[in-house]
Structure 1
Amino acid sequence: MMYLSDYINYSEDKGQKPECFISFQNDIGIRDSRNLMDVALFRVSKRSKRAGELMRYTLANGYVEIKSGPDGMASVWDYDIVLMLVSYLTEAMNQYREGKGNMPGRVLCPYVRDILKFCRKSDGSRQFAEVELALDRLQGTIIKSVREISGSGGRIFRNVESEGLIGSYSILSRTNIGRVSQVKIEIPNWIYNGVTSGKNPQVLTVNPGYFRISTGIGRFVYRLARQASGKTEARWSFRTVYARSGSESDLNEFSRLLRKIISDNDLPDYDLREETGQRGPQLVMTYRKDSLNIFYEEA
């Protein structure tokens, strides 16, 4: 059997640009795309598939729409695979910038066991099947970004971009045991360009404790705190957090769930509290100064 590392070395020996890049290791930093961490690109509920639905977030210079296909909207747990793409692409670019490797291409080729290990999931037969279902939902969940951009002479241009949470994918199965073995996942432009363009990739590191957050809303709040607060403090009204979460619950139920997260106050790296504001209750997110700084050295 030719393993992925053998394939890459073989391609390089033949003077070909490797189709896949892979350098799986245990201590890789976890990253997320900085640009869209303040909106939910996924459903936060485990129960509702939300097939054929649309979520729309109004921003200062436009809006973002999340559209789901017939397989359902990608969940925040499916999004762990996107974190994997961002993380390994960033690692490969760091190596390239240091002169220690080639410019990475757009295809990541993990084994399913590598995906499960990265996402801190058990290596069971059901999990292997779930990876394929997650890839279906990720590919069928489309991000459409519409923004107004200032041009020369004071002219305003409308910029529209639309792309899936992942690009195409393919799977090679070990048919004798019925398990998915090797996966090829195409990295979409919104991730690839954000990591490879310019000197500084548009990513933020994520605490590995993120994978232990059990609720979808809790995971969204952590991503929001990481993007908005950084190493300081940020405050958002409950209404705005609710609007950006894409939650199907009404505001009262969402506020109840958010207050439970505030009361538990066990998210990695950030202390949460509620304060009264002019627009109603406010979520205050404060960086916990005793957090391990290794997680917050930018990519």
Structure 2
Amino acid sequence: MSSLNKQRVQAEARPGESWDEATARVLGTSINKAVPEEGELADFFVSADGISTKDSRHFMDVALFRMSKQQSRAGEVIRYDLADGYVEVKGGPDGMASIWDYDIVLMLISYLTESMNLYKKGRGVKPSRFFTPHVSDILKFCQSGDGGNQSKRIESVLDRLKGTTIKSVLHRPSRSSKGVTREVKSESLISGYRVLSETIRGRIDRVEIEVPSWIYRQVIDSHGAAVLTVNQDYFLIDSAIARFIYRLARRAAGNSSAKWGFKTIYGRSGLASFKGFCSILRRLIRSDDLPEYHLYEEAGLSGPQLIMARRSAEPACG
């Protein structure tokens, strides 16, 4: 296949299509090829307009990343104690992934969900764990612009995502006895990546990212229950805490409202200073410009409470 035809197939392929299916539709050639050509992928994702942003419901109330742009937190561990166990986030040698780096994980979840939906409708093959976007697709999805510096930093972002591991330890009642079983899982935010092509100027053009099995299993096996749609304006939120509060509100409040204590939220944020956290949170409450949700403060027996209410819903009663 000529280079021009390959570029055309890549540009016009749809989410969830295999290389053969995209080639047959775009070029009108046979799809009965037993083995794909070298460099071609049997299953891949491509740029497409209109894909809604999705996030993993399971971890939307815990920060799986650092909240600071300045501190790399390389080799550091953040631990969150939960009712049935705990979660540890550990930064690799390149630094812990930030909440802004996590935008690429949102993209993986979003495209994987879209591809799975198309597969269920009979409009594509079952998606694999390999995601092959152009860097321009990543920057467009994350609303990061398309400047040279933005393109160069993608490799560093992928290094941090690969090096950041999530360890969850859960204690569950044993089915065979009256005791408790200890379930331990540890995976990275992405399982790996490789650069597939570069531009003439040496900038990364296209990458292949391997989706971690914990994300893949959630999307493939959950029938849609494990993901939630995220407002597109999320990417325009500059404050890390504001992003974290939006994700919490999206999961906890949904289409209604929810109430969480300041101390509980702080304990899930990975931040060092409770006083600083409260100061920033109260500024967010005063500005009241979070996408989709109003924020209110209310006094409680255990300390200040944050009420997160969908803008079409009334705040929770005290």
- State the TM-score, normalizing by the size of structure 1: 0.92
Kindly state the Cα deviation for residue 185 of structure 1 after the two structures are TM-superposed: 0.2
Equivalent of residue 167 in structure 1, options 169, 175, 191: 191
The answer for the alignment partner of 2:262 in structure 1 is 238
CA deviation map 1:17-66 (0-9, x unaligned): 85442142121110000101000000111111111100001111110000
The answer for the alignment partner of 2:244 in structure 1 is 220
Q: 1:16 to 1:151 in 2, by over 3 A?
A: farther
Q: Report if the CA contact (8 A) 1:19-1:107 is conserved.
A: no
Task: Tell me how far apart the structure 2 counterparts of residues 15 and 277 of structure 1 sit (CA, whole Å).
Answer: 66
CA deviation map 1:51-82 (0-9, x unaligned): 11000011111100000011001000000000
Give SS of 1:280's match: coil
The reply on whether 1:14 has 2:33 as its aligned counterpart is yes
The answer for the alignment partner of 1:89 in structure 2 is 112
CA deviation map 1:99-141 (0-9, x unaligned): 1110000000000000000000111110011111100000000
The answer for the alignment partner of 2:160 in structure 1 is 137
The answer for the alignment partner of 1:43 in structure 2 is 66
Q: Report if the CA contact (8 A) 2:18-2:44 is conserved.
A: no
The answer for the alignment partner of 1:64 in structure 2 is 87
Q: 1:118 to 1:245 in 2, by over 3 A?
A: same
The within-5 A match list for 1:128-207 is: 128-153=151-176, 154-174=178-198, 176-207=200-231
Q: Report if the CA contact (8 A) 1:237-1:279 is conserved.
A: yes
Q: Aligned residues, how many?
A: 289
Kindly state the Cα deviation for residue 7 of structure 1 after the two structures are TM-superposed: 7.6
The answer for the alignment partner of 1:293 in structure 2 is none
Q: Report if the CA contact (8 A) 1:92-1:101 is conserved.
A: yes
Give SS of 2:75's match: coil
The answer for the alignment partner of 1:294 in structure 2 is none
CA deviation map 1:222-252 (0-9, x unaligned): 000001111111111111111101113x111
CA deviation map 1:182-230 (0-9, x unaligned): 1000000110000001433410000001011110000000000001111
Give SS of 1:205's match: strand
AA aligned to 1:268 is P
Q: Report if the CA contact (8 A) 1:90-1:201 is conserved.
A: no
Task: Tell me how far apart the structure 1 counterparts of residues 33 and 305 of structure 2 sit (CA, whole Å).
Answer: 59
The answer for the alignment partner of 1:106 in structure 2 is 129
Kindly state the Cα deviation for residue 16 of structure 1 after the two structures are TM-superposed: 5.3
Which one has more relative contact order, counting CA pairs under 8 Å at least 6 apart? 1
Q: Report if the CA contact (8 A) 1:106-1:187 is conserved.
A: yes
The answer for the alignment partner of 1:271 in structure 2 is 294
For the pair shown, the structure with the greater C-alpha radius of gyration is 2
Task: Tell me how far apart the structure 1 counterparts of residues 197 and 47 of structure 2 sit (CA, whole Å).
Answer: 20
Task: Tell me how far apart the structure 2 counterparts of residues 208 and 171 of structure 1 sit (CA, whole Å).
Answer: 27
RMSD between aligned residues: 1.8
CA deviation map 1:248-297 (0-9, x unaligned): 3x11111001111111110100000111011111111001118xxxxxxx
Q: Report if the CA contact (8 A) 1:28-1:91 is conserved.
A: yes
The answer for the alignment partner of 1:251 in structure 2 is 274
Q: Report if the CA contact (8 A) 2:46-2:133 is conserved.
A: no
Q: Report if the CA contact (8 A) 2:18-2:42 is conserved.
A: no
Task: Tell me how far apart the structure 1 counterparts of residues 202 and 121 of structure 2 sit (CA, whole Å).
Answer: 41
Task: Tell me how far apart the structure 1 counterparts of residues 18 and 83 of structure 2 sit (CA, whole Å).
Answer: 46
AA aligned to 1:89 is L
Give SS of 2:191's match: coil
Gaps of 5+ in 1: 291-299
Question: Percentage identity across aligned positions?
Answer: 49
Task: Tell me how far apart the structure 2 counterparts of residues 195 and 183 of structure 1 sit (CA, whole Å).
Answer: 22
Q: Report if the CA contact (8 A) 2:18-2:125 is conserved.
A: no
Kindly state the Cα deviation for residue 178 of structure 1 after the two structures are TM-superposed: 1.4
